[in-house]
Amino acid sequence: MRSSDDTPFLLLLLLFFFTFIAPFSSSQPQHHSHFIKHTLPHNSNPPHPYIEITRPLTFTNLTTPSCSLPLFTYNFGNTYGLPPVSVPYSPPFNCSWTHVVLQFNASCKGEQYDRIAAVWLDGAELLRTSTAEPTDDGIYWTVTKDITKYTSILVKENITLSVMLENLVNDIFTGIYHVNVTFLYYDVKNVTGIKLDNYVDNGISMGVSKLGSSLGSDDRPADLVLPISANGDNGLWFRIESELELFGQGVVIPRNTIKAVMEIYVSFHGNDEFWYSNPPDSYIQMNNLTTKRGHGAYREVLLKIDDYLVGSLVPFPVVFTGGINPLFWEPVVSIGAFDLPSYDIDLTPFLGLLLDDKAHFLSLGVADSVPFWLVDGNLHLWIDNSALPCQVHAKVLDYGTPMFNIERSSSFQGLDGSCEIDMRRKSKVSGWVNSTSGNLTTIVSRELKFKNKIKFYLNGTEKRVKQNVREKTVVSVLSDTGITISQTTMKKIYPLSMTTRNLPSSENDTILMLTDLVHEWRAKKSIGGLSISLINRQKCSGGMVVQDHDVLFGGATTQQTYSYRDEVGCYSRIILATNATLINDTASSLCAASL
Ligand SMILES: *[C@@H]1O[C@H](CO)[C@@H](O)[C@H](O)[C@H]1NC(C)=O
Ligand SMILES: *[C@@H]1O[C@H](CO)[C@@H](O)[C@H](O)[C@H]1NC(C)=O
Ligand SMILES: *[C@@H]1O[C@H](CO)[C@@H](O)[C@H](O)[C@H]1NC(C)=O
Ligand SMILES: *[C@@H]1O[C@H](CO)[C@@H](O)[C@H](O)[C@H]1NC(C)=O
Ligand SMILES: *[C@@H]1O[C@H](CO)[C@@H](O)[C@H](O)[C@H]1NC(C)=O
Ligand SMILES: *[C@@H]1O[C@H](CO)[C@@H](O)[C@H](O)[C@H]1NC(C)=O
Ligand SMILES: *[C@@H]1O[C@H](CO)[C@@H](O)[C@H](O)[C@H]1NC(C)=O
Ligand SMILES: *[C@@H]1O[C@H](CO)[C@@H](O)[C@H](O)[C@H]1NC(C)=O
Ligand SMILES: *[C@@H]1O[C@H](CO)[C@@H](O)[C@H](O)[C@H]1NC(C)=O
Ligand SMILES: *[C@@H]1O[C@H](CO)[C@@H](O)[C@H](O)[C@H]1NC(C)=O
Ligand SMILES: *[C@@H]1O[C@H](CO)[C@@H](O)[C@H](O)[C@H]1NC(C)=O
Ligand SMILES: *[C@@H]1O[C@H](CO)[C@@H](O)[C@H](O)[C@H]1NC(C)=O
């Protein structure tokens, strides 16, 4: 992901290359991993479609939209530094709907870096997305996302839809991103074949609806969604430039709120785009390197209410389409690149702190971060509409004694060596809420484990990264008499392993880079005896000749397996793409015995 923010860095790098290091540039360790495809003029072929592998939404298959609302059309040319583009929104007139799908269509032609983008409605983020890098033939793609969980905003009249996509266009970077946003409204009340409770949002799917959610399959959309976002011209996301910054907003929540879940959107850029491969500062200093991609490889997004740390997450390492090896990501983009995951933190045990008619400051920060992160959130609230406001009472029973432990070790000799980080966080919080549903106690137990190892070989020209993130959250709801009414267990695992080798070339200051990557999103959610699971895995391998940030030529292969299973059925898809061509694409709804 490049923005003009990187320009000083790029100049520095060029200076570095041309003035001092040119003779040994090829033996420098690989500290920038973001590239642009150098597109060779083709015989004008038709534009190519790009895809992120997901599963189809059940309800879009079974019925046609009752209304379609084309909302937004814009050509993002030289938009760097400009505020988001806004259009008015009101729900479609005289249309019966229960579900809404956001469709983001984009196309681009020429030479351009990948860019980050987002869509907000009335200040609440609905979609975080990134663009594919175009070719001279042109490319196009569609992102489809179930946004039914934002129903309380979608019914509002005369609000604003905003889209931000900062792009730079000049003689070299010619690609303009053409974007359309359309909302499709579905009425699935009377459609047979869908269990109404079931399709809202099972919180696990990758892409087509949100992932990693604790908004359960049996939940109706929240009654109120309060954005925790910025209101400046620099976008509605908070731009976090250092580990010391906390950004947020004061909120007053209704006195009859009975459930609260904070949803967090996050993406990482600049010197932290590849945070999971950043070496410690000691390595950079010891070797007199100029890279700012440092500060080690541990990052954690922290959520606070006033001064209490109430939750955290380690994000899935989404790779943008210019990342690691851009040839990996054509025409199948990286897991999450078109529909970045958002993360949910159940705040119901903390309602005792919030139900006092006073403003509380909800804020977000990123531990150990270097510039820069784009973060914001939506507070989803469920309200007891049959209670008078003063009839709902809540109390925090246990703030927990959060256990946090981090161990770092490193051993370097010159440009070779290794470093390792082990982090573990454990917490258990509980609180009760008395409403017309009874006096219910919610207990949220969470365990987060993070492990990262980086090794450098061959005078720093070979780098191997191995990372794993494991998170287990159990939400139990107990009745007044101590009987467990519901228990939801959510497990998420994000393994990543990456190798990059730089082979010097005496000619033209080019480097041959050999790259391998395996990464995976695994999630499993169990509610009572039912379970939903997803394994989404990509294995990529390739070689490319690069000159500075330009990929001159190369080849790559990407294999992807996607397998989803819930109580109703299965969906699996197997993909093989080589040298920008989809060789194999097999989808099946059969349940294989293995998953
Ligand atoms: C290792 O790389 C450094 C910096 O590029 C260079 O000065 C040094 O000569 C290299 N050492 C060997 C053994 O190749
Ligand atoms: C959607 O419809 C297609 C064709 O009618 C069918 O092959 C596919 O299995 C359906 N997908 C789902 C998830 O129902
Ligand atoms: C609303 O839609 C219904 C059914 O399509 C139609 O009969 C009715 O005339 C519409 N009402 C208005 C005010 O347009
Ligand atoms: C956007 O919509 C317009 C009008 O329907 C259409 O001409 C254009 O091709 C669309 N662009 C994309 C990127 O889908
Ligand atoms: C929205 O704007 C229209 C036109 O200005 C107006 O008639 C309508 O009352 C407004 N609705 C709300 C809820 O403010
Ligand atoms: C859906 O079903 C309800 C009750 O069975 C009925 O009143 C309503 O008219 C139906 N709606 C449509 C769009 O068929
Ligand atoms: C780094 O710079 C210092 C001061 O210029 C020098 O003494 C040292 O040898 C350099 N180290 C390496 C590994 O080049
Ligand atoms: C608990 O909530 C119910 C329903 O709102 C209310 O009638 C009852 O008085 C509450 N109990 C206490 C002790 O506040
Ligand atoms: C709700 O239940 C908790 C735990 O059993 C108890 O401590 C509390 O007093 C109850 N609250 C009300 C309003 O009854
Ligand atoms: C090096 O550059 C020259 C002139 O631009 C070109 O003719 C030659 O093919 C290049 N060599 C490689 C290996 O790219
Ligand atoms: C892909 O491209 C590379 C580099 O041009 C080439 O070596 C390789 O054979 C190609 N693979 C296939 C399957 O075409
Ligand atoms: C494509 O996938 C099918 C089903 O998994 C498999 O039988 C076939 O061998 C694959 N083809 C290639 C070229 O990999």
Report pLDDT for 3. 43
The rounded distance, in Å, linking the Cα atoms of 548 and 551 is 8
CA of 11 relative to ligand 12 center, distance in Å: 46
Give, as one character, the DSSP assignment of residue 152. H
Question: In the predicted model, what is the mean pLDDT of residues 377-388?
Answer: 92
Question: What's the confidence (pLDDT) of residue 390?
Answer: 81
**Residue 34's pLDDT band (cuts 50, 70, 90):** confident
In short, whether 189's Cβ falls inside 6 Å of ligand 6 is yes
Which residue has its alpha carbon closest to ligand 6 atom 10? Answer: 190
**Residues 476-525: tens digit of each pLDDT:** 999 999 999 999 999 999 999 999 999 988 777 899 999 999 999 999 99
Higher pLDDT, 501 or 13: 501
Structure confidence by residue, pLDDT tens digits, 127-159: 999 999 999 999 999 999 999 999 999 999 999
Whole-number pLDDT of residue 387: 81
Q: Which residues contact 564 (CB under 8 A, 6 or more apart)?
A: 55, 204, 205, 532, 533, 534, 570, 571, 572
Pocket test for ligand 10, best of 26, 40, 505, 507 (most atoms within 8 A of CB): 507
pLDDT at 366: 98
> What domain range includes position 387?
4-588
Q: Which H or E run includes 522?
A: strand 511-527
d(CA 33, CA 11): 16
Q: Whose CA is nearest to atom 14 of ligand 2?
A: 58
Q: Cα(503)–Cα(500) distance, rounded to whole angstroms?
A: 10
**More confident of the two residues 171 and 191:** 171
Q: How would residue 208 be classed by pLDDT, with cut points 50, 70 and 90?
A: very low
Task: For a ligand 12 pocket test, name from 558, 559, 586 the mutation site with the most ligand atoms within 8 angstroms of its C-beta.
Answer: 586
For ligand 9, whether the C-beta of 441 sits within 6 Å is: yes
Q: Higher model confidence: residue 9 or residue 536?
A: 536
Assess whether pLDDT exceeds 50 at residue 213.
no
Judge whether 212 lies within some domain.
yes
Ligand 10 atom with the shortest distance to the CA of 552: 14
The stretch 3-12 carries a mean pLDDT of: 36
- Residue 555 Cβ inside 6 Å of ligand 11? The answer reads yes
Atom 2 of ligand 8: nearest residue by CA position: 435
Supply the mean pLDDT for the chain.
88
- 517 domain-assigned: yes
95 CB near ligand 6 (under 6 Å): no
Nearest of 55, 10, 119, 114 to residue 521 by alpha carbon: 55
Ligand 6: nearest atom to the Cα of 187 = 13
Mutate to test the pocket of ligand 5, among 155, 157, 159 (most ligand atoms within 8 A of CB): 157
As a whole number of Å, the CA-based R_g of the chain is 24
pLDDT band at residue 566 using 50, 70 and 90 as cut-offs: confident
Does some domain include residue 461? yes
Q: Which ligand is nearest to the CA of 142?
A: 4
Residue 379 lies in a domain: yes
Backbone angles phi, psi at 329, to 5 degrees: -105, 35
Measure Cα distances from 559 to 140, 332, 518, 582 in Å. Answer: 21, 9, 9, 10
Residue 8 is inside which H or E element, if any? helix 7-15
- How many domains are there within the chain? 1
Say what the pLDDT of residue 8 is: 36
Strands 360-367 and 462-478, how do they pair?
unpaired
> Residues with beta carbon inside 6 Å of ligand 7?
287-288
The verdict on residue 247 lying in a domain is: yes
Q: Read off the pTM.
A: 0.90
**More confident position, 491 or 592:** 491
Percent of the chain residues past pLDDT 70, beyond the cut? 88
Rounded distance from Cα 508 to ligand 10 centre (Å)? 6
Q: How far is the CA of 442 from the centre of ligand 10 (A)?
A: 66
How does residue 77 score in pLDDT terms, banded at 50, 70 and 90?
Answer: very high
The more confident residue out of 530 and 41 is 530
C-beta of 439 in contact with ligand 9 (< 6 A): yes
Quote the CA–CA distance of 537 and 194 in Å, as a whole number: 28
Report the separation in Å between the CA atom of 547 and the middle of ligand 1, taken as the mean of its atom positions. 20
Q: CB count, 10 Å around CB of 294? A: 20
What strand order describes the sheet that includes 85-89?
A: 85-89, 159-165, 116-121, 124-130
Shortest-distance ligand to the CA of residue 189: 6
The yes-or-no verdict on residue 5 having pLDDT over 60 is: no
Tell me, yes or no, whether 593 lies in a domain.
no
pLDDT at 41: 57
Q: Which of 33-37, 166-170, 222-226, 285-289 has the lowest mean pLDDT?
A: 33-37
**Assigned domain for 595 exists:** no
* Cα separation, 297 vs 269, whole angstroms: 14
Q: How far is the CA of 467 from the centre of ligand 7 (A)?
A: 31
The closest-lying atom of ligand 1 relative to the alpha carbon of residue 21 is: 5
Instruction: Give yes or no for residue 211 having a pLDDT over 50.
Output: no
Q: Is the pLDDT at 24 greater than 50, yes or no? A: no
Is the pLDDT confidence value at 532 over 80?
yes
In the reported structure, the alpha carbon of residue 93 is separated from the centroid of ligand 5 by a whole-number distance in angstroms of 12
Residue 594: inside a domain: no
If one residue of 395, 432, 434 were mutated to test the ligand 8 pocket, choosing by the most ligand atoms within 8 A of its CB, it would be 434
Q: How far apart are the first and last CA of the chain?
A: 35
**What pLDDT score does 1 carry?**
54
